[in-house]
Chain A
Amino acid sequence: MIDLLPDRLPWFIAGPLLGCLIVGLFAIGNRPMGSLGAYIQTVSAVRGGAPEPWRVWFFGGMILGGFLVAILGGGPPAGLAFGALGEELSTPVLALVLLAGGLLIGFGARWAGGCTMGHGLCGTAILSRGSMVATAVFMSAAVAVSFLIHVVVGGRL
């Protein structure tokens, strides 16, 4: 491991970079950027054919990007740790909770037609009303449920 990256890339670099990626993908390929779409196209590819195969490559890229940060010495540590939630739950229970959370994420975002990237950043950037409403709803739901979790576990999370 090399130590080239800061412990945390500051928001004023990360945010504008993401903005440039959205503009860049439209400028080059005329396509909206989205994480969920990469999952959907990967599912389609496994089932026998993705209408947008480049999104499967995008999916692979997301994993590769995380790998590059890890070898360049940035980001949280690798391993079985999962922050405060990992300290609260045993590994098998944590796995079940994450699976359930993931299920809700995939099911809900598929239903909504996009996730934080697709609706939250890209859809909002093209001033899509549907995306803006979706973003307001999933952010509000995420905040509400997080506070609920915080209260239920007695403030430990």
Chain B
Amino acid sequence: MKLIGLVFGTAFGFVLSAALLTDYNVIHRMLLFKDWQPFLIMGSAVAIAVPGLRLLKRVGWVTPLGGPLTFSPSTVQRHHVVGSLLFGTGWAIAGTCPGPAAAMLGSGRVMGIFIVAGIFSGILLRDAMVARATARPAAVSPEPLGVGL
């Protein structure tokens, strides 16, 4: 599975970089509705994946490394909304999201280091907050940690 992770990660980083999704101007202009290509990329990716996954499910596909194919869709929870508001704000400020930020490092866009460092710090901070809330039963009930897609 490690090799699969490396291959898929490499292909993913390659596509993100080659499609210029690692470029601040492209993402910023996308979010101002001046560049529609990133939206079309997202839309066409989902448009391919939905029927592809549905077909695998229909034929009862058994995966070579992970057993029978299972999807775990989630119901709408408060954390989906609150977390995403913060994430979207950060996305607009840095003009990127976690995948392209990692790809920036490989392509020598040095400033990406600060974004990646920020993302790691944010994850650690959130985990520390949840751990604290869990340790004190009287405190605000912690949001469940998602699977981290």
Contacts and interface: CB of A to CB of B under 8 A. Distances in A.
A72 to B, nearest CB: 8
| Interface residues of chain A: helix, strand, loop or mixed (majority) | helix
12 contacts: A19-B52, A27-B61, A28-B64, A34-B148, A37-B148, A63-B103, A103-B122, A110-B122, A112-B84, A115-B99, A137-B80, A145-B93
Contacts of B87: 104-105, 107-109, 111-112, 115, 138, 141
Given A66-B16, A121-B49, A104 B86 contact: yes
Chain A, interface size: which category? Answer: 35 or more
A124 B46 contact: yes
B119 interface: yes
A40 B77 contact: no
Interface in B31-49: 31-33, 37-38, 40-49
Contact of A130 (B63, B71, B80, B116): B80
Interface residues of B, number: 114
Contacts of A135: 84
Contact of A19 (B47, B63, B71, B79): B47
Interface in B53-104: 53, 56, 61, 63-77, 79-99, 101-104
